[in-house]
Amino acid sequence: MSGYFDGPGPEAQYRAYLAEGRFMIQRSSSSGAYVFYPRTLAPGTGAQDLEWVEASGMGTVYATTCTRQRPEKGGDYNIALVDLDEGPRLMTRVEGVAADAVTIGMRVKARIAEVGGAPNVVFDVVEAGA
Amino acid sequence: MSIRGKAACVGLGMAGMGEAPGRNAMEIMAEAVGKALDDAGIPLSEVDGLFAATAFHSMAAMSLAEHLGIQPKFSDGSNIGGSSFMAHALMAAMALDAGLCNVAVIAYGSNQRTAGGFKSISEPMPFEAAYGPRNPLTAYALATSRYMHEFGATREQIAEVAVAARAWALLNPEAFMHEAGPLTTDEVLAARMISDPLGKLDCCLVTDGGAAIVMTRADRARDSAKPPVYLLGAAFEHHHRMISAMPSLTTTAAAASGARAFEMAGYGPAAMHTAQLYDAFTINTLLFLEDLGFCGKGEGAAFVQGGAIAPGGRLKVNTNGGGLSCIHPGMYGLFVTIEALRQIRAALGSEEGPRGPGGWVDGARLSVAHGNGGVLSSQATCVWGASETL
């Protein structure tokens, strides 16, 4: 069995994938459950069988807020929680519509963009929510 | 084997309420300890159990023991945010019952308001920070958005929580907003939007303040100067640290902590004469009313309408004015606990200071004190009762 520290940890691997333009999430091969954020052990079960898989990139807005900010400081911006079609939820930003026009249930698609000085996942609206 | 009724609060104190210019967090906390010990009639030299958490001290129990010049035999500085102090009460009762200490003090202090504003104890969340969340605000805004979506609740309905809290504060001269006058739903809705759907008046105060309580075993508490208030049940639980990892944004771990605390106490929510629920934001009160079993899931917004949790309402909630209108120095949990205790003491005839008509709840014998920590992360519930409830 390989050790836990044979190479970069899950966060470093995740960020390295992002730098290559790939949005990768983990999957526990025994349960089939998808995992985000990147873990060392499968959450809840402790299984040591997490493997990297490409995310479909499709998701649905689960919750959203428009953070109010004065224009001279950059203006309002969106923060959303998106449920990936694979199951896991992540914090992100929905772009392409006004920060306060993002609604729960919107279908969104992932894109890698520079956020906070590093590549991170943001989402674009593909269709309005129910 | 249960710790039900094995320990009691025999003294309490608060300091630096609202604004305490020129004093640091430790000084405010130490003053609260001094007041609580005076209230208990117990000298500092007898304190051998110490429990503390603040946003200003990474090892608060050690710093406080040093400042007080004592050498506790048992201490706990566990920090689970604003719910720390409910967990400390459970730990203190366990340590007292086990004979590991004889006089336990739980304490907190903050000068965040006069030191420049909201003081976070949180490190940036690794998979969230890039998006610029203003935690805890962002997390509670997200939860509110989800609550409104799932249950069809309106901002107007949710505003009732803030309106009720202000009405209680008007009865409490110690409340920071005591002189502010009544609040209307329209004012809450018209307040500056901070993070949709939360406006400024959906958010707690940013104040200074310190608090402390003294606990002993029940046998000693019977002879105390002030009416002892017994810890009948306590439990805590948490399932996430980042809001993005919360399983459902509309059900908190209070559903678990509350059920276990009520089971230990042998009294359910319907028996509570007051409910003190950590209200950092208006959504908190709704979620905790539901998760603790005062109403069904999704019914909170309807439950609070028509002044139902205001003075004169069917359930006495956050009777000091809450974090929204009384005090919120950052980790408000010990003030939640103290209000639960004081309501019972006042009803037993203890002189607890002036309140407007109905500000002290007649016949209060049982109070639930529910604490919340992090971003709806940690939930801790204590049930306190007068001697006749044992």
**Segment B270-322, tens digit of pLDDT:** 999 999 999 999 999 999 999 999 999 999 999 999 999 999 999 999 999 99
pTM of the complete model beyond 0.95: yes
CB contact, 8 Å: A108 with chain B?
no
Interatomic CA distance for residues B111 and B20, integer angstroms: 7
User: In which residue are the tokens 């001697």 written?
Assistant: B387
Catalogue the long-range contacts made by B189-193 (C-beta closer than 8 Å, 24 or more residues apart). Answer: B189/B155, B189/B156, B189/B159, B192/A68, B193/A66, B193/A68
Structure tokens at B218: 């029940």
Mean pLDDT of all residues belonging to chain B = 97
Q: Do B128 and A68 touch (CB under 8 A)?
A: no
By Cβ distance, the residue of B131, B143, B192 closest to A93 is B131
| Residue whose C-alpha is closest to residue A99's, from A69, A60, A58 | A69
ipTM of the complex: 0.96
Interface residue of B145, B198, B203, B283 to substitute, partner A, most A CBs within 10 Å:
B145
What stretch of H or E contains B336? helix B333-347
Encode pLDDT of B20-60 as tens digits. 999 999 999 999 999 999 999 999 999 999 999 999 999 99
Q: What is the mean pLDDT of the segment spanning A12-28? A: 97
Chain A contact set for B287 (CB, 8 A) = none
Nearest-CA distance A105 → chain B (Å)? 9
Interatomic CA distance for residues B333 and B17, integer angstroms: 14
What stretch of H or E contains B138? helix B137-151
Residue B78 has pLDDT above 80, yes or no: yes
Q: What is the mean pLDDT of the segment spanning B367-387? A: 98
Q: Do A37 and B192 touch (CB under 8 A)?
A: no
| Count of CA atoms in the C-beta half-sphere (13 A) of B97 | 16
Structure tokens at B20: 């305490």
Interface of A with B in 55-84 (CB under 8 A): 62-68, 77, 79-81
Q: What is the mean pLDDT of the segment spanning B132-146? A: 97
Q: What is the mean pLDDT of the segment spanning A108-116? A: 97
CB contact, 8 Å: B138 with chain A?
yes
Nearest-CA distance A116 → chain B (Å)? 5
Encode pLDDT of B256-270 as tens digits. 999 999 999 999 999
Q: What is the mean pLDDT of the segment spanning B82-104? A: 98
Which DSSP state fits B94? H
Contacts across the A-B interface (CB distance below 8 Å)? 76
- Residue A129 has a pLDDT of 60
- Vertex B114: Cα angle to B111 and B117 (nearest 5): 85
User: Cβ distance A100 to B196 under 8 Å?
Assistant: yes
Residue B139 has pLDDT above 50, yes or no: yes
Assign A103 to helix, strand or coil.
coil
By Cβ distance, the residue of A68, A91, A120 closest to B244 is A91
- What's the gap between Cα B126 and its chain centre? 28
Interface residue of B131, B200, B202, B251 to substitute, partner A, most A CBs within 10 Å:
B131
Residue B1 has pLDDT above 80, yes or no: no
Residue A5 has pLDDT above 70, yes or no: no
Q: What pLDDT band is residue A1 in, cutting at 50, 70 and 90? A: very low
In chain B, pLDDT over 70 holds for what percent of residues?
A: 100
Q: What is the mean pLDDT of the segment spanning B120-132? A: 92
Q: Following CA atoms B60, B373, B5, B65 in sequence, which dihedral angle do they give, to the nearest 10 degrees? A: 0
User: Cβ distance B384 to B233 under 8 Å?
Assistant: no
Chain B contact set for A70 (CB, 8 A) = none
By Cβ distance, the residue of B134, B197, B244 closest to A81 is B244
